[in-house]
Amino acid sequence: MIGFIGGTGVEGRGLAFRMALLGEKCLLGSRNPDRATSYKDELVEMDENINGLVEIGSNRDVAELCDLIFITIPYNAVRSVLFEIKDQLAGKIVISTVVPLGFSNNGVELVSIAEGSAAQEIEKILPDSYVLSAFQNLSAQKLLSKTAVLDSDVIVCGDDQNSKNKLIDLINLIDGLRGLDGGYLSNSGIVENITALLITLNKIHHTNSSIRISGILPNEN
């Protein structure tokens, strides 16, 4: 089962929708699961084929029951949420989609992190988990739209090759997406930084862009 910490947000629901379309069982975590059942109904209404594949639970339920877990919470909630369930996440593949963004009069800007990136900070909190970084540069609204056409690369960073390969294989099953090995987790800050640029570009050009890397053949990943 695939789990989503903070899964009732747009990012979590969008990723769960795409995973459920592949036939994967998904568990959306929430601090208030009793109040979040409507999100499950919303996803099923979008496509009846995923009925029975999406459930709602607590974030602790996700940590205990799932082996592949996406972190889809705002950066300012990372420490408070993950410290409560770090023991349950030991030995699990944990994927950070987190981008530490702030806003000023000049627009969107990145929050400086001592560890170098949100993913590296998560790795420090979860030293016994296999921490990866992915999906920062893909629109959550597109993921959550049944009619949106996906056309993007998803860069996966991490220090455990087997975990990266598992996630990349899963990404490649989603129509329009290509998973790319982005090297060690220390590269995750570069990928997170691209998000701020994309938000700025989208605002200027009134669009919803993502990224494609040219020059990489299918068998070169």
- Whether 220 has a pLDDT exceeding 90, the answer reads no
Helix/strand number for the chain, H first, E second:
8, 10
What is the reported pTM? 0.95
> In terms of DSSP H, where are the helices of the chain?
10-21, 37-46, 59-65, 78-85, 118-125, 140-143, 161-171, 188-205
Distance CA 140, CA 50 (A): 19
User: For residue range 7-42, what is the model confidence (pLDDT) as tens digits?
Assistant: 999 999 999 999 999 999 999 999 999 888 999 999
Q: 110 has which bridge partners?
A: 101
User: For residue range 151-181, what is the model confidence (pLDDT) as tens digits?
Assistant: 999 999 999 999 999 999 999 999 999 999 9
Q: Residue 97's closest CA among 69, 62, 116? A: 69
User: For residue range 34-83, what is the model confidence (pLDDT) as tens digits?
Assistant: 888 999 999 999 999 999 999 999 999 999 999 999 999 999 999 999 99
**Residues contacting residue 1 through CB under 8 Å, at least 6 positions apart:** 24, 25, 26, 27, 65, 66, 67, 68
Classify strands 107-110 and 101-104 as parallel, antiparallel or unpaired.
antiparallel
**CB count, 10 Å around CB of 31?**
14
Can you list the domains of the chain with their CATH numbers? Answer: 2-220 (3.40.50.720)
Q: Residue 193's closest CA among 132, 124, 111? A: 111
| Residue 212 Cα to chain centre, angstroms | 18
103 — pLDDT class (breaks 50, 70, 90): confident
